Structure formats: structure tokens, C-alpha cells
């Protein structure tokens, strides 16, 4: 049960991160503000539940929640990540890292699907290679190109969050009718 709670907690944190990204473009959106507040409450309650479990499971759970990340991941690194739709592991590239929440936004190679994954769940790529530039641009042109790519990726992620919000609102609207 505690493993499930840890997974759920990581999922809630990832969702909160997505809501905060959406709020950065629409700071006064009441629905997003309410969702942010609700997610924070769920995170707090889940954390309390994890810490209040019996001593044996709590100690193992707490160590998995706060376990240091073994691999020092960087934006642009290739990795293996589990896609939560089917539970299978796929090659992915790290697009963004949130060290505060311990998550990374990854894009699955060859599919284009993006997902926020806890850093502790990422595995080194089978070929063991990192991108050739290792995240450090060489020239000013390369730095500008990298900033533009990162900006585009962020904008795409924000648009995706807004699209998902719109889909959820449509679903809620049809449920209430």
C-alpha cells in the first residue's frame, strides 16, 4: 500500500507542477487556482498518511520518498522511462527538470508523447550515451538555438496543459448535463 501511496504522491506533485505551469500564463484563472489548492491539500494529506503508517512501512516509504537520485540527470539526456498509459518502458529524452519536486518532463523518442516522471523512476538509456553536447552549448549561436528550443518546448508544454484543462472542462460539462 505504501508503494502505491508514493506513486500517487509523485503523480500529484507532477500534476501540481503542470497546473503551476498553466498558471504562469493565466495567473487569475479561478479553476486553476482551485485545482492548485486542491492538489496541494491532497499532497499534504498523502504525505501525512505516509508518515502515520506503522514504523516498518513508514521507514521504507520515507526512504523512497526522500531517496537521493543516483543519476545526475541533465536536460537533453536520453533515458528509459515508463509511459503510464501502458506501463511499458521506452526510450525518452529529458526536456525539463524540476529538482525541487524531483520530476522530469520527458518526450518519448519516436512517439512524441510527453510526460512528467519522478527522477527516481528514470533509468539510464541502454546504450548508456548522453547527447553529444552534454547540455553545454559550444558557441553563442548554439546557446541561442538551445534557448529557442527550450522556449518552444516550454510553450508546447503549456499549450498541452491548457488543452488538457479544456478537455476536462468539456467532460465535466457533459457529465453535469
Domain of residue 16, residue span: 2-65
Q: What is the pLDDT of residue 61?
A: 43
Q: How far is CA 85 from the centre of its chain?
A: 14
Cα distance between residue 146 and residue 96, in whole Å: 13
Count of domains forming the chain: 3
Instruction: List the chain pLDDT tens, one digit each, 177 residues.
Output: 667 778 888 888 888 888 888 888 888 888 888 888 888 888 888 777 777 665 444 344 444 444 444 678 888 899 999 888 888 888 999 999 888 888 999 998 878 888 898 988 899 887 654 444 454 545 777 777 777 887 788 888 888 888 888 888 888 887 776
Domain CATH for 116: 2.30.30.140
Q: Which residues pair with 106 in a beta bridge?
A: 94, 115
C-alpha cell of residue 130: 548522453
74 and 52 within one domain? no
- Running DSSP on this structure, what letter comes out for residue 121? G
Decide: 101 and 14 in contact? Cβ < 8 Å.
yes
84 and 61 within one domain? no
pTM for the complete prediction?
Answer: 0.38
Q: What's the sign of the alpha-carbon dihedral 139, 141, 144, 146?
A: negative
142 and 129 within one domain? no
Amino acid at each position: 500500500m505504501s508503494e502505491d501511496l508514493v506513486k500517487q504522491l509523485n503523480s500529484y506533485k507532477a500534476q501540481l507542477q503542470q497546473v503551476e505551469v498553466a498558471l504562469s500564463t493565466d495567473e487569475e484563472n479561478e479553476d486553476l487556482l482551485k485545482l492548485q489548492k486542491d492538489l496541494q491539500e491532497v499532497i499534504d494529506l498523502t504525505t501525512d498518511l505516509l508518515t502515520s503508517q506503522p514504523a516498518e512501512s513508514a521507514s521504507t516509504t520515507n526512504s523512497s520518498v526522500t531517496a537521493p537520485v543516483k543519476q545526475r540527470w541533465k536536460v537533453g539526456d536520453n533515458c528509459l522511462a515508463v509511459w503510464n498509459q501502458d506501463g511499458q518502458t521506452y526510450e525518452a529524452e529529458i526536456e525539463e527538470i524540476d529538482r525541487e519536486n524531483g520530476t522530469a518532463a520527458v518526450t518519448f523518442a519516436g512517439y512524441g508523447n510527453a510526460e512528467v516522471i519522478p527522477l527516481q523512476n528514470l533509468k539510464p538509456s541502454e546504450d548508456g550515451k548522453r547527447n553529444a553536447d552534454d547540455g553545454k552549448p559550444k558557441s553563442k549561436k548554439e546557446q541561442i538555438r538551445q534557448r529557442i528550443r527550450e522556449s518552444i518546448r516550454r510553450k508546447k508544454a503549456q499549450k498541452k496543459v491548457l488543452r488538457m484543462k479544456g478537455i476536462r472542462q468539456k467532460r465535466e460539462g457533459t457529465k453535469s448535463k
